[in-house]
Chain A
Amino acid sequence: MPVQPPFESWLRPDGSGLYCVPGDFHIDPHAAVPRAVITHGHSDHARPGHGAVLATADTLEIMKLRLGQGAGDSLQPLDYGEALKVRDVTVRLVPAGHILGSAQVVIEYQGQRAVISGDYKRHADPTCEAYELVPCDLFITEATFGLPIYRHEPDTGEVAKLIASLKDFPERTHQVGVYGLGKCQRLIALLRQAGFDRPVYLHGALRSMTDYYLARGFALGPVPSVSDTKEKLAGEIVLSPPSALGDRWSRRFADPLAGFASGWMRIRGRVRQRGVELPLIISDHCDWPELLQTIAETGAREVWVTHGREDALVHEVSKMGVKARALALVGREDEAE
């Protein structure tokens, strides 16, 4: 067997983020770079101002919606599974199951394979393609929920909680905070799966992204804008960005009951800190068992942890006999899950 170069010789963090040397590109860099591969459209991964950008078509469309001209000078779409030669490496994008368009980046170089997970989850999600496992030598994973206390309960139960609350408090507007890209549309889809067929009202900030999902053919049912009605919306569901919870904007509603859909809602202190009455534990990231399961299934002999609870995950993966280290990439904001 030929001697293989150490991973650090061709893939390593530099001042702008994770850099692939023989391919001469960054993956999800936090600063503007000449050439970037972007895993998905969330703002902590898809930053403005890059030169050439390679991503899935959905991610590129989402970046254009969010960043306009800032999406990049030249945008190159790549289908899931399609191999592309970039200088001395081969690049593939594989579904990550996180949000619409989200991808893992698979890089092959001199007979070795590295997978950069981006953000990902194993749990089924009606609004994006399911995670696809890729065996590899080096697995670079996130660890947003990298502690054994984080185990996401089935999302059907959380949605049932919301519907039950509408029965308990039919006189109150149920205002649920959601992140505008992914969580918002997933929650609507889950409500529809649960048989909820009333309109789901949207804050203006959630409009354009939801319209994109509609245009892509997702059946989200009636999703009118709050601004188009004069009603107080008692007993209805209103989705808004988390920042609008308990804000002056919510005064238009009937005794608003604040909900929040996030993996962080598993921790009571965080629920109280946010003044949330109805926490819904719905996450677009892996929980602890899924992280460990995925790492084991990739068969990787080395694991790098990009962001989140690195200490605990590195500790546990080392116990599994796999070499692990924390990259501590700057600029990730998965607190905002």
Chain B
Amino acid sequence: MKAFATLLDRLTYTPSRNGKLTLMRNYFRATPDPDRGFALAALTDGLPISFPLRRVLADIGESRFDPELFRLSRHDVGDTAETVALIWPVTQAGADAPRLSDVVAAVSAAGRGGHAALLTQWLDRLDATGRWALLKFLSGAPRVGVSARLAKQAVADAFGQGVDDIEELWHGLAPPYLQLFDWLEQKSERPSMSATPIFRPLMLAHALEDAEWAGLDLQDFAAEWKWDGIRIQAAAKGGVTRLFSRTGDDIGGAFPELLDHFKFDAILDGELLVVRDGAVAPFADLQQRLNRKSVTRAMMVKYPVHVRFYDALEIGGEDLRGLSFTDRRKRLEAWHQEFGPPHSDLSAVLSFDSKDALKLRWEATREEGIEGLMLKRRDSPYLAGRPKGHWYKWKRAALTADCVMLYAQKGAGKRSSFYSDYTFGAWAEKDGVRTLVPVGKAYSGFTDDELAQLDRFVRQNTIERFGPVRSVTPKLVLEVAFDAVQESARHKSGIAMRFPRVSRIRWDKPAAEADTLETLKALISAAR
């Protein structure tokens, strides 16, 4: 527990990806089985236990602590679990801390009434960091700024393997991942995964530059629309269906209607969309269905999901990845003709007479749900990663708006001494008074030199400080590029930008001439 507690503690405060990798790598190398496997499960959101933490903490809190002192303490700390971890009196300093594997075993075996007693005796045997980490662990999802992918990357790095190799095995393994670590430490063969649906690393596209477009011979390429949803891999075998995100996270739980219908023996590549009456809904609708552990009937009706398939990696147990795009496409079409489940269709291959005709058609398209154009080399096999020269994506040119910097915040890692995250606003008129309303936040798009200039501007024009945030005199115009504008009830401005970044610093432009909220709102439909 001590090593795990130290790891979680350091991870929460380490902003940089490399720093996190280092900490996890050292942990996985130094910690024995099965504890490291349960730590890996916690970091990948896959702990096989459920513990009614909130209820148990409330029960314990009332009986153990002076309510007035607890209230004052809670006020200083701001978080109940952390308050309990800190306020817990030291009773058995020097006692053996419980091991993660003991905790998992005891929680699995405990009946409903036994939870409070278990937690109490563990807390008695831990120091403050240990108590905090235990509560994080029992909450099921520690949330220490580590994605499942990053944790797997650390395991791969620790033992000199590729992360894609681990991804391929991942969904056939279960905590505490003894088979995995045995293989990584070369104590056993690579585990065999033939009987379960597992994730295959995806083939990704390169962004197409205008110059490259001129050089492409379109005879060699198939064209498809680039759909504005999220990439998904549907893997089904032996009655089990899994839906994987681009990074191999199993997100099927949020889409029971797809799991119900996708009963086939294949691994398919496609786009997850919300589709109503055959029309793709805006990305914001799909967002309503993402990042949920469970979903209500009403959500399923209001935001009906759909998968538009465009490639097949495996059908009927046969690995198709070595075949050309053209051959895989034929197999996909034949399969879908016969077995295509509800909530699915195929992404059409576009026909075009000439390169210019394709370009014209693409530029004229304002259809909902189309984000750009995909070009796929007809004779390319399905290659994991982002190989050069095979698949291209051609995104619609970004939209831009001139906005005014309002707040700045320090960045993380190498940027921790720079004000590098900017909140910017647009003009809105209310009762005849023009004010700047925050419309978005950007932290990329500028060069290191420009960052230094922006940082200087922030320091010289600070009005107020709130912790790491500064408000600045609203006089610097930033040209902000973004992919789309969406309606948003969560933002005060009523809009949200997709992927905003700083495209130019307009030192020359007076703030009064920046764009208005009205103009931005008009883009909600125009972008489509």
Residues of A at the B interface (CB closer than 8 Å) are 147-151, 153, 161, 165, 168-169, 246-248, 250-251, 255-258, 266-269, 271-279, 309, 311-312, 315-316, 319
Contact = CB atoms under 8 A, between A and B. Distances in A.
A271 B15 CA distance: 13
B13 A153 contact: no
A256 B68 CA distance: 41
Given A267-B77, A309-B72, 4 more contacts: A149-B76, A258-B416, A275-B416, A277-B19
B69 interface: yes
Given A168-B23, A316-B69, A149 B13 contact: no
B417 A246 contact: yes
Contacts of A267: 76-77, 82, 86
A7 to B, nearest CB: 26
Nearest to B68: A315
A251 B127 CA distance: 35
Given A247-B417, A266-B86, A169 B128 contact: no
A149 B86 contact: yes
A128 to B, nearest CB: 26
Contacts of A311: 72
A309 to B, nearest CB: 7
Contact of A277 (B15, B26, B89, B128): B15
26 contacts: A147-B72, A147-B76, A149-B76, A149-B83, A149-B87, A151-B90, A153-B128, A161-B6, A169-B22, A246-B417, A255-B413, A255-B414, A256-B417, A258-B416, A266-B128, A267-B82, A268-B82, A269-B78, A275-B410, A276-B13, A277-B13, A277-B14, A277-B19, A309-B76, A316-B66, A319-B66
B468 interface: yes
A255 B410 CA distance: 15
A29 to B, nearest CB: 29
A268 B90 contact: no
Contacts of A277: 13-15, 19
Contacts of A257: 19
Most B CB contacts (10 A, CB to CB) among A149, A255, A268 go to A149
- Contact residues of A: prevailing secondary structure: mixed
B73 interface: yes
A135 to B, nearest CB: 27
A169 B15 CA distance: 14
Nearest to B16: A255
B78 to A, nearest CB: 5
A169 to B, nearest CB: 7
Nearest to B86: A149
Nearest to A255: B414
Interface in B18-39: 19, 22-23, 26
A251 B69 contact: no
Given A169-B19, A250-B417, A272 B13 contact: yes
Contacts, number: 84
Contact of B69 (A148, A246, A250): A148
Interface string B77-95: 1110011001101100000
A292 to B, nearest CB: 11
- Contact residues of B: prevailing secondary structure: helix
Nearest to B132: A268
Interface residues of B, number: 36
B12 interface: yes
B467 interface: yes
B125 to A, nearest CB: 15
Contact of A151 (B66, B128, B413): B128
Most A CB contacts (10 A, CB to CB) among B22, B69, B86, B414 go to B69
B128 A312 contact: no
A312 B69 contact: yes
Interface in B113-140: 127-128, 132
A1 to B, nearest CB: 36
A168 B416 contact: no
The 10 closest A-B pairs by CB, nearest first: A149-B86, A149-B73, A273-B467, A246-B416, A312-B72, A277-B13, A246-B417, A148-B87, A149-B87, A269-B78
Contacts of B82: 267-268
A271 B79 CA distance: 14
Contacts of B15: 277
Given A168-B22, A266-B86, A266-B128, A147 B416 contact: no
A257 B15 CA distance: 10
Contact of A149 (B6, B12, B77, B468): B77
A255 B37 CA distance: 31
A310 to B, nearest CB: 11
B468 A275 contact: yes
Nearest to A147: B73
Contacts of A169: 19, 22
A258 B467 CA distance: 16
Interface in B342-374: none
Nearest to B26: A168
Contacts of A258: 416
Contacts of A315: 66, 68-69
A255 B65 CA distance: 43
A279 B6 CA distance: 12
Interface string B140-181: 000000000000000000000000000000000000000000
A266 B78 CA distance: 13
Given A149-B77, A153-B127, A169-B22, A268 B416 contact: no
A238 to B, nearest CB: 14
A169 B23 CA distance: 9
Interface in B438-474: 467-468
Contacts of B23: 168
Contacts of B467: 273
Nearest to A272: B13
A148 B76 contact: no
Contact of A271 (B13, B414, B416): B13
A273 B10 CA distance: 16
Contacts of B127: 153
A231 to B, nearest CB: 18
Contacts of A247: 417
B306 to A, nearest CB: 40
Nearest to A259: B13
A236 B74 CA distance: 37
